[in-house]
Amino acid sequence: METFVKINNVALCAETFGEPADVPVLLIGNTMLTWPDELCERLAALRRFVVRYDLRGTGRSEGSAVDYTLRDLVADAAGVLDAHGLGAAHVVGFGTGGWIAQLLALDYPERVASVALIATRPTAPGPNDADLPEHAPEVTAHFMNRPAVDWTDRASVVEFMLGNARRLAGAGFDEAEARAGIERIHDRADVVSRDPGEALRADLMATAFAVMDCKPRWRERLGSITAPTLVVHGEDDPFFPLGNGQALAAEIPGAELVVLPGTGNELPRRTWDVLVPALVRHTS
């Protein structure tokens, strides 16, 4: 069941799966629906106490897309642990959540039992470091020349986001699965307390995170991460190409790299038979 916890003067929406006495796992994505119910239930069935939540300004959490920094989101993650009575947890971050997870491991090492970084990179939004691969040219061209969308029309938004999902996916794109996920995120977005267009863009596109203040850099500090680290990356990720995940695994001491074949910037159901055992092993 969803609950609201007050953290840093913002009400964040969170949900748990499993028993509090089990191994704690904090999932950080964009909204809590980055992590589908069935994926959370699989982890809970394997004796994991799973906590997922909406970042501020997404889902049903309070906040605006313009009034926070990446470090605020890191402090929020620590606050979510506090709210659930967890001194430490195994932290799993996808995309933007991967930046939060890296900084949580760096700035709050006592709170991080281990860290798993999925579909992310060691640098913030903007031009990448010269030794790291940038977004695939076709992805950049698509997002620079996106078709018009009516954010007040559900069908328009869903079709628009399906087009984006196709661009980010690997060869085995499952349109029905992607559509169902997009529709659920759309229908759950709190467009009452937030501007509808802003709310849906934040929930579905993570555009708010692309313009937030992420300074200072942290890549040069990755070698000081002491938490056991798992890096999971799609072999065919066109948004954060595989070289980004390889760099994370190379620069964090002792990190393990798991490459998902035929996978883009996504976590479709077909990857879970690899992902779930890897996370369970890593959090044991």
Q: What is the mean pLDDT of residues 236-255?
A: 98
Tokens of 235: 């072999």
Q: What pLDDT was estimated at residue 37? A: 97
CA distance 180 to 207: 21
Torsion over CA: 97, 100, 105, 111 (sign): negative
Length of the chain as a residue count: 284
196 CB-contact burial (10 Å; exposed 0-12 / middle 13-18 / buried 19+): middle
Category of 273 on φ-ψ map: left (φ > 0), alpha (ψ -120 to 50) or beta: alpha
pLDDT bin (cut points 50, 70, 90) of residue 122 is very high
According to CATH, the superfamily of the domain at 2-282 is Alpha/Beta hydrolase fold, catalytic domain (3.40.50.1820)
User: Measuring CA to CA, how many Å separate 210 from each of 19, 44, 235, 272?
Assistant: 35, 32, 23, 28
Q: What pLDDT was estimated at residue 165? A: 94
Q: What is the mean pLDDT of residues 81-90?
A: 98
What are the tens digits of pLDDT across the range 34-72? 999 999 999 999 999 999 999 998 889 988 756 789 999
Amino acid at 93: G
Question: Is the predicted pLDDT of residue 247 greater than 70, yes or no?
Answer: yes
Q: Where are the domains of the chain?
A: 2-282
- Alpha-helical regions (H) of 93-136: 96-107
Q: What is the mean pLDDT of residues 69-93?
A: 97
17 bridge partner residues: 50
User: For the ranges 37-41, 76-80, 213-217, 250-254, which has the lowest average pLDDT?
Assistant: 213-217
- Alpha-helical regions (H) of 68-226: 70-83, 96-107, 137-144, 154-168, 175-188, 196-205, 207-210
Tell me the pLDDT of the chain averaged across its residues. Answer: 92
In this structure, are residues 266 and 119 in contact, taking their beta carbons and an 8 Å threshold?
yes
The pTM (predicted TM-score) of the whole model is: 0.95
Tokens of 26: 């904090």
What are the tens digits of pLDDT across the range 189-211? 765 455 656 666 665 666 557 67
Q: What pLDDT was estimated at residue 68? A: 86
